[in-house]
Copies of this chain bind each other. A is one copy, B any other.
Amino acid sequence: MGTHALAQTSPLPSWHDGPARKAIIDFVRATTSPHNPKFVPVHERIATFDQDGTLWVEHPIYSQVMYCLDRVPAVVKAKPELANVEPFKTVLSGNHEAIAHLSMDDLLKIAAATLTGMPVETFRAEAMKWIAQARDSRWKRPYTELTYEPMQEVLKYLRANGYKTYIVTGGGQDFVRVYSERVYGIPPEQVVGTAGGVKYAYDANGKPFLTKEPKLLLNDNDAGKPEGIHMMIGRRPRVAFGNSTGDQQMLEYTAAGDGARLAMLVLHDDATREYAYGPAQGLPDTKVGAFTQALYDEAKKNGWTVISMKNDWKRIFAFEH
């Protein structure tokens, strides 16, 4: 659909009328109207989106963590000596409760073993294959179908109005780049994520290749988000969407710029259609996507708009249509 056609239809059809939908539409209209004092030139129209919990389901476990766990048998097959070494032994046991209690250190060891040490093309092929085959345990669908339809509409609406849309994720940059173009219409070069180093070398035939290394270059969470945005984009965003404390600094940095800025937070408050978690609604926090009371208070104080999945979204997923 072209810009003109989209402008003619009512934008954001999966959103209920309400303050969240209105905040988005008012912002876009003001910043794209040449005579409006809030007008933003096209080249400054940068919009950044957290992924997990903001664009797609993150509960009960990040899909990239599932990828890493699913890769462990292949890693152990290649290096049998790992079979009796923790945390690989626990993962191979299939004991769900023990796996759920792995520490962050254990998860980092699993990430290093499953995400690094291979050529970038090998990683890409493996991740693509997994993304096509893996299924979420609740909806029995590929993870890539669990994107939020209202957020897909925001991405398209912003792009139709000259905004360049970026994913800025704590997830692995190389992992998200595998499917971002197909799933979100966001090309690899507009994905900023947690990034490890790669090393250039030549194979036996003199052909160059890049190997993924277990060296962290950017931890794209918390303060790492604005730092990564500076490195990878080099402009302060006009728009930022997030859903947890890991997005707080990205929203602060976005909102602190001059002129019109839009900062929004997705609140998971719909246990029926998706999940409800986070102390901001009196529910226990989870390991992932901490929407704390402090974040809620900061949002209110700073005028960031909180999106209620329950009240603002007519439908959550495209397959509900």
Other-chain contact of A256, B187, B197, B208 (Cβ < 8 Å): B208
A200 partner residues in chain B, CB cutoff 8 A: 223, 226-227, 249, 253
A77 partner residues in chain B, CB cutoff 8 A: none
Other-chain contact of A230, B210, B227, B231, B256 (Cβ < 8 Å): B210
0/1 per residue, A195-225, Cβ < 8 Å to B? 1011110000001111000000110000100
The reply to whether A191 and B43 contact each other, CB–CB distance below 8 Å, is no
Give the docked Cα–Cα distance between A165 and B195 (Å).
23
A209 partner residues in chain B, CB cutoff 8 A: 256
The reply to whether B233 and A188 contact each other, CB–CB distance below 8 Å, is yes
Report A1-36 residues with CB < 8 Å from chain B CB: none
CB distance from A213 to the nearest CB of B (A): 10
- A side interface size, CB within 8 A: 36
CB distance from A119 to the nearest CB of B (A): 11
A227 partner residues in chain B, CB cutoff 8 A: 197-200, 210
CB distance from A1 to the nearest CB of B (A): 18
**Contact flag A249-B208 (CB < 8 Å), given A198-B230, A199-B227:** yes
Of the listed stretches A60-68, A134-142, A173-181, A312-320, name the one at the interface; the rest are far from the partner chain: A173-181
Report A238-281 residues with CB < 8 Å from chain B CB: 249, 252-253, 256
The reply to whether A234 and B199 contact each other, CB–CB distance below 8 Å, is no
Q: List 5 A-B contacts (CB under 8 A).
A: A189-B232, A189-B234, A191-B234, A198-B231, A200-B223
Taking beta carbons and an 8 Å cutoff, which residues of A are in contact with B?
43, 46, 120, 164, 173-174, 177, 181, 187-189, 191, 195, 197-200, 207-210, 217-218, 223, 226-227, 230-235, 249, 252-253, 256
Taking A200-B249, A210-B253 as known contacts, 6 extra A-B pairs with beta carbons closer than 8 A to each other, sorted by chain A number, are A120-B230, A177-B234, A200-B223, A200-B226, A200-B253, A208-B253
